[in-house]
């Protein structure tokens, strides 16, 4: 058993924009008890169900202990072209993303990058991620192999792309089906790993390939699906030209059976009300990627519309379209995106999206995303006074809301004092 002391933040549900009191609990000087990979107890230091007299206590006094961050959209092969200058989505893909992904044909290179990638996630307090690999089957193999070593809940898949991309980065409908199927059989539900069928986006997949992706989901009902949707205006126009019979962008995926309760659609910046209605009906999820949407100039996500339609939603860093691995930095940008639309993102709801909201988007909310008995011991320790300026600012702050807001507006990886995955320290 391990015993941790600190200010414990527990989510029960979505607080909503008006912050329902029952949606979360906060225990100052509380306790977290873990045994092996699971949580035994999280809450008040009084009434603990086990005697802990003789056990050493790891104290994080004045620090917030919360569930680890969940990143619902990120590209591991883009780790070393993050922050590439000057382009918007379609040109940025051609100029930076595709050449970076080409190198993952080499599986020893992929292994090195997978290791760097996971280290960077952990340094930023991200304990679960839904990740794009590349078109190469071995790139997904490499990431699964490294994640398994950390007993981490990680989801990824080989990218499907058979047109409108350089020839050296494309597959075919048949090879994409066969490779994905082999990866599902090898990795899906092995330890904490999960497979996600990963068509890159409608522009780079033929109708035949999307149809076979839909077949994979029918053949494996609890396998995930991840793709991009309605990110950039030029992208949306191109999809309309490529699929003239579709009712809209989401419909391209939906009519192929790709919008399920295990589907995560990244961006959704320009989604129509009708598309939101379909998204809700299918119980699919959105990955809101504020850093990326600002960095690539894609547009301002409409948070109130997502709230109104009550769609499952988590945060995505979208590295390397996004310029930071930090979920805190993404909350910073999310707040500003909301401000530019005269909307509000309250810190209590922001941290919900970063943890339990993300877990719900991945259908993992009964295992991760909050601190409760029998959940995995995936948790982080956040220091709201990690820098001199933050410590000064904290002198004018006392409530949980104040501390969380300081963390999200001023914080980054420096505020992540420790991170644990399945009870083991990874930072
Ligand atoms: N749309 C298709 N591919 C990509 C990608 O790699 N990054 C982002 N942000 N959008 C995409
Ligand atoms: Zn992306």
CB-based burial of residue 224 (10 Å sphere; 0-12 exposed, 13-18 middle, 19+ buried)?
buried
One domain for residues 188 and 303: yes
Classify residue 202: in a domain, yes or no: yes
Q: Could you tell me where the beta strands, DSSP code E, fall in 12-49?
A: 24-35, 38-43
Cα–Cα distance measured from residue 83 to residue 96, given in angstroms and rounded to the nearest whole number: 10
Write down which residue in 325, 357, 390 finishes a domain. 325
Structural domain harbouring 37 = 2-67+370-425
Please give the DSSP secondary-structure letter assigned to residue 68: P
Cα–Cα distance measured from residue 247 to residue 88, given in angstroms and rounded to the nearest whole number: 25
For residue 297, what are its two tokens?
């100039």
For residue 84, what are its two tokens?
């590439």
Q: DSSP string spanning 203-215?
A: GGS-HHHHHHHHH
Residue nearest to atom 1 of ligand 1 (CA): 228
One domain for residues 220 and 207: yes
CA of 4 to the centre of ligand 2 (A): 36
The pLDDT score that the predictor gives to residue 47 is 84
* Sequence-separated (6 or more) residues with CB below 8 Å from residue 355: 11, 66, 67, 68, 69, 70, 369, 370
Residue nearest to atom 9 of ligand 1 (CA): 321
Cα–Cα distance measured from residue 335 to residue 132, given in angstroms and rounded to the nearest whole number: 26
One domain for residues 236 and 306: yes
One domain for residues 26 and 98: no
Give me the phi and psi of 160, to 5 degrees please: -100, 125
Which SS3 state, helix, strand or coil, does residue 175 take? helix
For residue 318, what are its two tokens?
């979208």
Write down which residue in 304, 325, 346 finishes a domain. 325
* Sequence-separated (6 or more) residues with CB below 8 Å from residue 305: 271, 273, 276
SS3 labels along 372-397: CCCCECCEEEECCCCCHHHHHHHCCC
CA of 93 to the centre of ligand 1 (A): 7
Query: Which pTM was predicted?
Result: 0.99
- CATH assignment at residue 401: 2.30.40.10
Of ligand 1's atoms, which has the minimum distance to the CA of residue 292? 9
The pLDDT score that the predictor gives to residue 423 is 98
CB-based contact 335:329 (threshold 8 Å): no
**Contacts by 184-192, CB closer than 8 A, 24 or more apart:** 184/216, 184/220, 184/223, 186/141, 186/144, 187/140, 187/141, 187/144, 188/220, 188/222, 188/223, 189/222, 190/144, 190/148, 191/148, 191/151, 192/151, 192/152, 192/153, 192/154, 192/376, 192/422
What total number of domains does the chain contain? 2
One domain for residues 86 and 179: yes
Which of 84, 87, 97, 139 for a ligand 1 pocket mutation test, highest count of atoms within 8 Å of Cβ?
A: 97
Of ligand 1's atoms, which has the minimum distance to the CA of residue 322? 9
Residue nearest to atom 8 of ligand 1 (CA): 321
* Sequence-separated (6 or more) residues with CB below 8 Å from residue 146: 111, 114, 115, 117, 118
CA of 228 to the centre of ligand 1 (A): 7
Classify residue 144: in a domain, yes or no: yes
Of ligand 1's atoms, which has the minimum distance to the CA of residue 296? 9
Classify residue 346: in a domain, yes or no: no
CB-based contact 198:227 (threshold 8 Å): yes
Q: Which of 126, 15, 120 is nearest to 355 (CA)?
A: 126
Of ligand 1's atoms, which has the minimum distance to the CA of residue 204? 2
Of ligand 1's atoms, which has the minimum distance to the CA of residue 289? 9
One domain for residues 302 and 291: yes
One domain for residues 123 and 205: yes
* Sequence-separated (6 or more) residues with CB below 8 Å from residue 9: 24, 25, 26, 64, 65, 66, 351, 371, 400
One domain for residues 242 and 259: yes
SS3 labels along 101-153: HHHHHCHHHHHHHHHHHHHHHHHCCEEEEEEECCCCHHHHHHHHHHHHHCCCE
One domain for residues 62 and 182: no
Which of 73, 75, 324 for a ligand 1 pocket mutation test, highest count of atoms within 8 Å of Cβ?
A: 75
Which residue matches tokens 């579709």?
246
Classify residue 341: in a domain, yes or no: no
Classify residue 100: in a domain, yes or no: yes
Angle value at C-alpha 82, between 387 and 121, nearest 5 degrees = 55
The continuous run of DSSP H or E covering 273 comes out as helix 273-282
Q: Which of 107, 87, 106 is nearest to 97 (CA)?
A: 87
For residue 104, what are its two tokens?
């993952």
Classify residue 357: in a domain, yes or no: no
Classify residue 50: in a domain, yes or no: yes
One domain for residues 273 and 263: yes
Which SS3 state, helix, strand or coil, does residue 34 take? strand
One domain for residues 21 and 143: no
Q: Which of 217, 241, 336 is nearest to 288 (CA)?
A: 336
One domain for residues 307 and 395: no
- CATH assignment at residue 121: 3.20.20.140
Classify residue 20: in a domain, yes or no: yes
In tens digits, the chain (427 residues) has pLDDT values of 999 999 999 999 999 999 999 999 999 999 999 999 999 999 999 988 888 888 999 999 999 999 999 999 999 999 999 999 999 999 999 999 999 999 999 999 999 999 999 999 999 999 999 999 999 999 999 999 999 999 999 999 999 999 999 999 999 999 999 999 999 999 999 999 999 999 999 999 999 999 999 999 999 989 999 999 999 999 999 999 999 999 999 999 999 999 999 999 999 999 999 999 999 999 999 999 999 999 999 999 999 999 999 999 999 999 999 999 999 999 999 999 999 999 999 999 999 999 999 999 999 999 999 999 999 999 999 999 999 999 999 999 999 999 999 999 999 999 999 999 999 999 9
Residue nearest to atom 7 of ligand 1 (CA): 321
CA of 286 to the centre of ligand 2 (A): 12
For residue 35, what are its two tokens?
């045994």
CB-based burial of residue 383 (10 Å sphere; 0-12 exposed, 13-18 middle, 19+ buried)?
buried
Residue nearest to atom 11 of ligand 1 (CA): 228
Ligand 1 pocket (Cβ < 6 Å) reads 75, 89, 93, 97, 200-201, 228, 231, 292, 318, 321
């Amino acid at each position: 058993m391990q015993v941790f002391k600190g200010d414990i933040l527990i989510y029960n549900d979505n607080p909503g924009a008006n912050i329902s009191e029952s949606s979360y609990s906060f225990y100052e000087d509380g306790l977290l008890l873990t045994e092996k990979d699971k949580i035994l107890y999280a809450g008040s230091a009084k009434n603990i169900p086990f005697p802990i007299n003789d056990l050493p206590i790891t104290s994080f006094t004045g620090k917030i202990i919360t569930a680890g961050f969940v990143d619902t959209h990120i590209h591991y092969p883009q780790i070393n072209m993050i922050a590439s200058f000057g382009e918007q989505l379609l040109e940025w893909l051609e100029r930076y993303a595709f050449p970076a992904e080409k190198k993952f044909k080499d599986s020893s290179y992929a292994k090195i990058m997978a290791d760097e990638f996971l280290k960077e996630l952990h340094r930023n307090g991200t304990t679960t991620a839904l990740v794009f690999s590349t078109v190469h089957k071995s790139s997904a193999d490499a990431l699964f192999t490294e994640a398994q070593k950390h007993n981490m809940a990680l989801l990824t898949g080989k990218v499907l792309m058979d047109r409108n991309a350089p020839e050296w980065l494309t597959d075919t409908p048949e090879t994409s089906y066969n490779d994905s199927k082999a990866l599902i059989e090898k990795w899906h539900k092995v330890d904490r790993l999960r497979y996600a069928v990963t068509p890159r986006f409608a522009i780079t997949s033929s109708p035949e390939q999307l149809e076979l992706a839909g077949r994979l989901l029918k053949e494996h009902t609890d396998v995930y699906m991840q793709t991009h949707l309605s990110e950039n205006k030029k992208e949306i126009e191109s999809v309309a030209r490529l699929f003239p019979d579709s009712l809209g962008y989401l419909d391209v995926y939906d009519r192929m059976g790709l919008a399920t309760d295990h589907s995560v659609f990244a961006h959704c910046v320009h989604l129509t009300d009708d598309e939101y209605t379909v998204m809700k009906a299918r119980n699919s999820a959105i990955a809101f990627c504020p850093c990326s949407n600002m960095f690539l100039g894609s547009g301002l996500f409409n948070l109130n519309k997502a709230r109104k339609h009550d769609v499952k939603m988590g945060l995505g860093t979208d590295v390397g379209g996004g310029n930071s691995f930090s979920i805190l930095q993404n909350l910073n940008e999310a707040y500003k995106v909301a401000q530019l639309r005269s909307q509000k993102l309250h810190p209590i709801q922001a941290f919900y999206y970063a943890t339990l909201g993300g877990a719900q988007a991945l259908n993992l909310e009964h295992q991760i995303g909050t601190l409760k008995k029998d959940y995995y011991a995936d948790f982080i320790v956040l220091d709201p006074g990690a820098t001199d300026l933050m410590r000064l600012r904290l002198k004018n702050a006392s409530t949980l809301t104040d501390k969380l807001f300081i963390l999200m507006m001023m914080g980054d990886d420096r505020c992540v004092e420790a991170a644990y995955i399945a009870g083991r320290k990874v930072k």
